[in-house]
Structure 1
Amino acid sequence: MLSLILLMILSLIAFLITDELIHKLKNLFINAGLYGIDLCKTDKNKIPEALGVVSGCVFLITCFLFIPIAFGNGLMDTQHFPHNEFAEFLAALLSICCMLLLGFADDVLDLRWRYKLVLPTVASLPLLVVYYVNFNSTTFIIPIPFRSWFGVSVNIGFLYYIYMGMLAVFCTNAINILAGINGIEVGQSFVIALSIVVFDIIELQGDQYKAHTFSLHIMIPYLATTLGLLKHNWYPSRVFVGDTFCYVSGMTFAVVGILSHFSKTVLLFFLPQIINFIYSVPQLFHFIPCPRHRLPKFSAETNLLHASRSIIIKKDMNVFTKVMLQILTLLRLVDFTEDNESITINNMTLINLFLIKLGPMSEVMLTKKILLFQILCSCVAFVIRYPLATYFYDK
């Protein structure tokens, strides 16, 4: 308990340092050519990009400084030093550090999407190696209604490692594609991190005390530095976070989910991102034309955001695209107009879906409503994890 109190003090200092560093380093990023223009504003001021590298660095340094506190007793008594726990912590930080480096490289070099899938896989390798050495548990517990067919548990072997690698890829990119308005990337990450912290605190009284303590050791400094970044990224944004922040955040969530053995619960906290990914699939896989940027369209006259749109040329449509459009129209998930030669539909993101269902709104109001949806989904996740889980599992 003392170590957690000291960690919170360290994290408070990390928040203040993150806040101050971002304020002081903004112009340095602009001078280096790392800046962008906010397309949802009337002014065209230069806004520094990739400031997620600042919060990521402070987060990692805070975790490094915490190592002597977390493992201080073991250092005094080398015979009882917790080597396995120490290896997990270092592997977690190594994977996050790799993602920080690769994410910043993406911000600077603007890598293609195929690399965005490869990079998290490479960065998760230290994590998977330590999991293999320390646990190598590849068994899934089968829900009670299906045990008559599959038994109590199923060992899926190497497929479990593929699942964990895919979890890292999904977490990093799921945050990255739910983006485009001020505060949304950092805001959703903050809510997910806070949900994980609450879950850890609830579970501290259980038999997985060490696993959830490990998770808190990672999540508390992450939460503090993310809050420091959110202060500058909130509407009207003074900085952009870049892919660096999305990559670091996704890997951090994957790390605690895998090494603390609650990856399925982490996915429950990603319900809005899962919905956004499934809704985006037709465009992400180019069944429907997908522009480079799918952020909402800003109206300078009304200062409101409208759903952005893509054009489908009818003569280029195949049968699969036609069927997909019919299904989406039947489910009322797209808003489209058509003429003799083309069909115009909204870009398929959760942000645009909110705009076609709730109507045009200001950017800050849209961010608040999506974050409220994120919070509601976290509440649903806790209901699934606790009351409903008893119907499917013994505990």
Structure 2
Amino acid sequence: MINARSEFPNLRLNMLLAALLSVTTSILLGFVDDMLDLRWRHKLLFPTLSSLPLLMIYYICGNSTSMLLPKFLQPFLGTTYIDIGPLFYLYMGMVGIFCTNAINIIAGINGVEAGQGLVIGASVAIFNIIQIYRLDDDWYHSFSLCLLLPFLSTSFALYSMNVYPAKVFVGDTYCYWAGMLLGTVGILGHFSKTLLLFCIPQIFNFLYSIPQLFHFVPCPRHRLPRFDGNGDKKLHMSMAEFEISKLSTLAKLLVTIFRLFGVMHYREFEKENSKWAEINNLTILNLILKFTGPLYEYRLNQVFLGIQICCSIFAFLCRFYFAFLFYDVVH
């Protein structure tokens, strides 16, 4: 029986409603993207609006905007914590935008979208369980699990049907739903930095894709690996071509840096009496194919998810072991 005189947890209810509102609007965005094929500028704008309920409830609940400084910075600044105020909300908004698009940007082969959501979601759930065992105040991690467990159940069922040869396809709706849900639990669960550790492949993919995403070099509409249907039936790197003389100085510098680090296929050729270049599309899936050579679709998915799992293991090591190198107390 509920004690009538006990105080109803209104703020916690509002937090749940704000989370569901953000996730629901991201599902709507995914559906609209599937129907209308939105441009990238719209894909950045709408997740910003979807993140607003999270930022508002974070402010209403009076949560901290302070950051714990690493040990080596504390003597210079004379404090243990620094309050960054509005910048913290800007950071959380950027986390929401990144997470919403992070899974969608690594897509195009059977199983990879649902697989990402499954691995990252399972990693976050394990982290929540560890923290519930370690901490006295475990409500935020329990809240995270309440959202994650249904997500993991549906993602597992979806992955079993979406893995090669796929019987079900995810579309953008699942990608935005999964990304925003993970961002939501990271923000409202107060472990957004740990969430980013679990998203190392997605962060790398974003940084690697910057020359194309910001149109320093040509960016085709779809950058997924190319299927050789007439040859070995494997996936090959997809390519982008451009006239070298039309590149800006910054674009030429980025291409040179990528070539020096060996992370870009580059070939020059003559076309229309001018010098052109061919590069691989700048995604982590194409980069894997650059190092491994052509792979069957199911094998490429296995390799990528193996990388994702290894990064999750590394994230746990950073969170619970290497963090002691920078902080006296690790919660």
TM range (shorter): over 0.9
Q: Distance in 1 between matches of 2:242 and 2:158?
A: 39
**1:145 counterpart SS class:** coil
Q: What is the TM-score when the length of structure 1 is the normalising length?
A: 0.79
Q: Kindly report which structure 2 residues correspond to 1:57-68, keeping only aligned pairs within 5 A, or say none.
A: none
Post-superposition Cα deviations, 1:289-347, rounded to whole Å, max 9, x if no partner, equal 11111111111220111111111212212222222111111100111111241111111
Distance 1:302 1:77 in 2: 70
Query: Aligned runs of 1:182-331 on 2, under 5 Å?
Result: 182-205=110-133, 206-300=135-229, 301-331=231-261
Aligned residue identity for 1:316:
K
CA distance in 1, matches of 2:137, 2:284: 35
SS in structure 2 of the partner of residue 140 of structure 1: strand
* Deviation larger for 162-171 or 339-348: 339-348
- What is the alpha-carbon distance in structure 2 between the residues aligned to residue 392 and residue 377 of structure 1? 20
Aligned-partner residue type, residue 333 of structure 1 = V
Residue among 45, 62, 72 paired with 1:135: 62
Q: 1:208 to 1:394 in 2, by over 3 A?
A: farther
TM-score where L is the length of structure 2: 0.94
Q: Which residue of 2 aligns with 1:390?
A: 324
Distance in 2 (CA, whole Å) between partners of 1:320 and 1:162 is: 27
The separation in 2 between residues aligned to 1:314 and 1:274, in whole angstroms, is 28
Give the equivalent residue in structure 2 for 1:179: 107
1:26-45 equivalent positions in 2, closer than 5 A: none
Q: Residues 92-131 of structure 1 correspond to what in structure 2 (within 5 A)?
A: 92-131=19-58
**Following superposition, which runs of at least 4 residues in structure 1 exceed 4 angstroms of deviation?**
none
Letter in 1 for 2:113: E
1:158 to 86, 90, 94: 86
Partners in 1 of 2:302 and 2:195 — Cα distance?
A: 22
CA distance in 1, matches of 2:33, 2:4: 43
Of all paired residues, the percent bearing the same amino acid is 47
Q: Which ranges in structure 2 are unaligned for 5 or more consecutive residues?
A: none
| C-alpha distance in 1 between matches for 2:49 and 2:211 | 27
TM-superposition CA deviations, 1:79-118 (whole Å, max 9, x none): 3322221111111111111111222122112221111001
Counterpart of 2:315 in structure 1 is 381
Measured after TM superposition, the shift of residue 179 of structure 1 is: 0.8
Deviation, structure 1 residue 133 = 0.7
Residue 327 of structure 2: SS of its match in structure 1?
A: coil
Cα deviation digits, residues 124-176 of structure 1 (max 9, x gap): 11111111011331111111111122331111111111111111100011111
Aligned residue identity for 1:84: L
Give secondary structure in 1 for the equivalent of 2:279: strand
The 1:274/1:78 distance shift into structure 2, 3 A limit, reads farther
* Post-superposition CA distance 1:9-31 (Å, at most 9, x none): xxxxxxxxxxxxxxxxxxxxxxx
Q: What is the distance in 1 between the residues matched to 2:5 and 2:26? A: 32
1:78 Cα deviation from its structure 2 partner: 5.9
Could you tell me how far 1:394 is from its partner in structure 2? 1.9
Deviations 1:213-242 (A, max 9, x none): 111111001100111211221111122211
Cα displacement string for residues 167-193 of structure 1 (whole angstroms, at most 9, x for unaligned residues): 110001111111111110110110000
Shift of the 118–262 alpha-carbon distance from structure 1 to 2, 3 Å rule, reads same
Q: Which moves more between the two structures, 112-121 or 349-358?
A: 112-121
Unaligned runs of 5+ in 1: 1-72
CA distance in 1, matches of 2:62, 2:318: 27
CA displacement at 1:77 relative to structure 2: 3.8
Shift of 1:268: 0.3
State the one-letter code of the partner of 2:208: Y
Distance in 1, matches of 2:18 and 2:311, equals: 30
Which residue type is aligned with residue 253 of structure 2?
V
For the residue of structure 1 that corresponds to 2:97, the secondary structure is helix
CA distance in 2, matches of 1:108, 1:314: 36
Name the CA shift for 1:77/1:96 in 2 (closer, same or farther; >3 Å). farther
Letter in 2 for 1:245: Y
Find the residue that maps to 1:380 and give its secondary structure: helix
Equivalent runs, 1:328-339 vs 2, <5 Å: 328-339=258-269
SS at structure 2 position matched to 1:310: strand
Q: What CA distance in whole angstroms lies between the structure 1 residues aligned with 2:37 and 2:242?
A: 27
For residues 101 and 273 of structure 1, the distance between their equivalents in structure 2, rounded to whole angstroms, comes to: 23
